[in-house]
Amino acid sequence: MAPQIDGFFSQVDSLSSHFIDRLSKAVAIPSVSSEAARRPDVVRMAHFLADELKTLGASVELRPLGKQPDNPELDLPPVVLARYGNDKNKRTILVYGHYDVQPAEKSDGWATEPFTLSVGEDGRMFGRGSTDDKGPVLGWLNAIEAHQKANVDFPVNLLMCFEGMEEYGSEGLEELIQKEGKGYFADADAVCISDNYWLGTEKPCLTYGLRGCNYYGVEISGPGADLHSGVFGGTAQEPMTDLVRILASLVDTHGKILIPGIMDQVAPVTKEEETLYDGISFTMETLHDSLGSKTTIFEDTKSTLMARWRFPSLSIHGIEGAFSAPGAKTVIPAKVIGKFSIRIVPNMEIEKVNEIVAKHVNDTFATFGSKNTLKVYPIHTGNWWAASPNHWNFRAASKAVERVWGVQPDFTREGGSIPITLTFEQSTGKNVLLLPMGSSTDGAHSINEKLDKKNYIEGIKLLGAYLHYVAEEPQQ
């Protein structure tokens, strides 16, 4: 295999400008799934991917998913399903990624235009979606192209599933994956997802667990319209006052979730599990670098990693309807919606968490004696996932990491969520591997999101090499 894989690697190097250009085109499409006004751009991004895939000789389908449940006026963006190769003598790998991105505005504090890929002299490539998840998604396409141009036989059949609503809880996808487990994906031998990050900046990792994410809205309304605080302050009960008291009842400064009953559902940490955290290369310095500050809850790496991977966390994200512009507007908002989410872990159950959250918020509000109106509801939910890394799929990826990066990967879990991972595992009955491309300093979801050129180019080699090692692995 060595000469073949070497030919592929040098072709990736030769095509690097072309691959960066492909990423620039993708980043230039502002495919923000959470903003209704951007929906045409999300759809445009699906077509961009489909066209690129067709040019590479893949067979492609754009599958409609119907209307968006919480906004029935709006069509969900299509899922891009594609197949490259159909050789019965080869293994078939199903890869998943997402082509939607988080919102981004220059005014949020970006140093460059968020929807323009800005490649610096130092090799950092800034742009929304560069690392999450357009770079990794294009990695698969680039790996196909480099094989073609290097005249190297593609080692597996590749099934691809790229969605456009991941950043909004993978709306509409679950049913399709459940149905296609024995349909479009029937001949998949294993699944690979490239949509997370290394723990630091030097050492790649393979990931075998994710937290889930239940995202909530707490809506409080009172007056019929926004009011003048000089005229009505002290006269009307203010929705914002009630809301901040509710939000303050959810979590403390040290990350302790204050909702009764939440921690009771968490599986106890076993002695064996504890030891897993000892060998992982991760330092508080790396964490401070990724954080851009030293404001960590814990002072040691083990507690930090456990808090990220193994325990739930509650984050307060924002308040819709509140005054948030610079300056000093003397307004009393009439209706405000607080947004918060809970990252859930084994053995928490989505429905049980929803019930406990609703009870806590309603009970807390009842103690205020407020005349305002309260509603609390889940906006979207997603399950946790934990798999076994003792499988040829992980072995192949580990060999690929060693080949491309010259080190053995860490085996990690992940604090973030990819809601559909568990559904892939259950519907196909196959092993699922997470094989990240980007590093801990990439700033996914943040301002100045970036992907290092080195991670992108070596990442394309990594994805290709993984497929070669998959082809070589004996059956388990």
Ligand X SMILES: C[C@H](N)C(=O)N[C@@H](Cc1c[nH]cn1)C(=O)O
Contacts with Zn ion, residue ranges (CB under 5 A) = 132-133, 195
Take residue 249 and report the two structure tokens written for it: 């009842």
Q: Are 322 and 362 in contact (CB under 8 A)?
A: no
Q: Are 404 and 159 in contact (CB under 8 A)?
A: no
Q: How far is the CB of 131 from Zn ion (least distance, A)?
A: 8
The reply on whether position 397 binds ligand X by CB under 6 A is no
Annotated catalytic residue, options 133, 163, 166, 458: 166
Mapped onto helix, strand or coil, the DSSP state of residue 143 is helix
How many Cβ atoms sit within 10 Å of the Cβ of residue 390? 11
452 is an active site residue? no
52 makes contact, choosing from ligand X, Zn ion, none, with CB < 5 to 8 Å by partner type, with none
Residue among 308 and 468 whose Cβ is closer to ligand X: 308
Checking DSSP bridges between strand 92-98 and strand 190-193, what pairing results, if any? parallel
Q: Which stretch binds ligand X (CB under 6 A): 69-77, 166-174, 330-338, 386-394?
A: 166-174
Take residue 47 and report the two structure tokens written for it: 């077509």
Residue among 169 and 389 whose Cβ is closer to ligand X: 169
Contact pattern from residue 213 through residue 252 relative to ligand X, giving x for each residue in contact according to CB under 6 A and a dash for the rest? x-x-------------------------------------
The reply on whether position 132 binds ligand X by CB under 6 A is yes
Q: What dihedral do alpha carbons 11, 474, 161, 350 form, nearest 10°?
A: -130
Q: Which stretch binds ligand X (CB under 6 A): 19-27, 165-173, 306-314, 369-377?
A: 165-173
> Nearest Cα to 41, choosing from 131, 103, 109?
103
382 makes contact, choosing from Zn ion, ligand X, none, with CB < 5 to 8 Å by partner type, with ligand X
Annotated catalytic residue, options 41, 52, 100, 180: 100
The answer to whether the annotation marks 273 as part of a ligand binding site is: no
Q: How far is the CB of 381 from ligand X (least distance, A)?
A: 8
166 is an active site residue? yes
DSSP for 253-284, written as a single string: TT--B-STTTGGGSPPPPHHHHHHTTT----H
The answer to whether the annotation marks 468 as part of a ligand binding site is: no
The answer to whether the annotation marks 445 as part of a ligand binding site is: yes
The reply on whether position 443 binds ligand X by CB under 6 A is no
The angle formed by the CA atoms of residues 19, 39 and 116, to the nearest 5 degrees, is: 35
The answer to whether the annotation marks 122 as part of a ligand binding site is: no
The reply on whether position 382 binds ligand X by CB under 6 A is yes
Q: How far is the CB of 296 from ligand X (least distance, A)?
A: 20
Residue whose token pair is 């742009």? 127
Q: Which stretch binds ligand X (CB under 6 A): 54-62, 89-97, 115-123, 162-170?
A: 162-170
DSSP for 173-185, written as a single string: HHHHHHHHTTTTT
Residues whose CB falls within 8 Å of the CB of residue 159, separated by 6 or more in sequence, listed in order:
81, 82, 83, 92, 93, 94, 95, 184, 185, 187, 188
The answer to whether the annotation marks 317 as part of a ligand binding site is: no
Residue whose token pair is 């499988």? 391
Sign of CA dihedral 437, 442, 448, 453: negative
Judged by CB under 6 A, the residue of 191, 401, 418, 460 near ligand X is 418
The answer to whether the annotation marks 112 as part of a ligand binding site is: no
Residue among 163 and 195 whose Cβ is closer to ligand X: 195
Which amino acid, one-letter code, is at 89? N
222 makes contact, choosing from ligand X, Zn ion, none, with CB < 5 to 8 Å by partner type, with none
Residue among 135 and 239 whose Cβ is closer to ligand X: 135
Q: Are 115 and 87 in contact (CB under 8 A)?
A: no
104 makes contact, choosing from Zn ion, ligand X, none, with CB < 5 to 8 Å by partner type, with none
Take residue 440 and report the two structure tokens written for it: 């801990």
DSSP for 348-401, written as a single string: --HHHHHHHHHHHHHHHHHTTT--SEEEEEEEE----EE----SHHHHHHHHHH
Residue among 173 and 240 whose Cβ is closer to Zn ion: 173
The reply on whether position 416 binds ligand X by CB under 6 A is yes
DSSP for 10-39, written as a single string: HHHHHTHHHHHHHHHHHHTS--BTT-GGGH
For residue 380, the Cα-to-chain-centroid distance in whole angstroms is: 14
Strand partners, 377: 217
The reply on whether position 172 binds ligand X by CB under 6 A is no
Q: How far is the CB of 80 from ligand X (least distance, A)?
A: 17
> What number of residues does the chain have?
476
The answer to whether the annotation marks 417 as part of a ligand binding site is: yes
312 makes contact, choosing from Zn ion, ligand X, none, with CB < 5 to 8 Å by partner type, with none
Q: How far is the CB of 214 from ligand X (least distance, A)?
A: 8
Judged by CB under 6 A, the residue of 142, 372, 417, 439 near ligand X is 417
Q: How many residues bind ligand X (CB under 6 A)?
A: 15
Residue among 261 and 416 whose Cβ is closer to ligand X: 416
Contact pattern from residue 178 through residue 217 relative to ligand X, giving x for each residue in contact according to CB under 6 A and a dash for the rest? -----------------xx----------------x-x--
Q: Are 168 and 34 in contact (CB under 8 A)?
A: yes
Q: How far is the CB of 73 from Zn ion (least distance, A)?
A: 25
The answer to whether the annotation marks 299 as part of a ligand binding site is: no
Site residues for ligand X per CB under 6 A? 132-133, 166-167, 169, 195-196, 213, 215, 382, 416-419, 444
For the annotated binding site for Mn(2+), the residues are 98, 132, 167, 195, 445
For the annotated binding site for substrate, the residues are 195, 228, 330, 343, 417, 445
Residues classed as catalytic: 100, 166
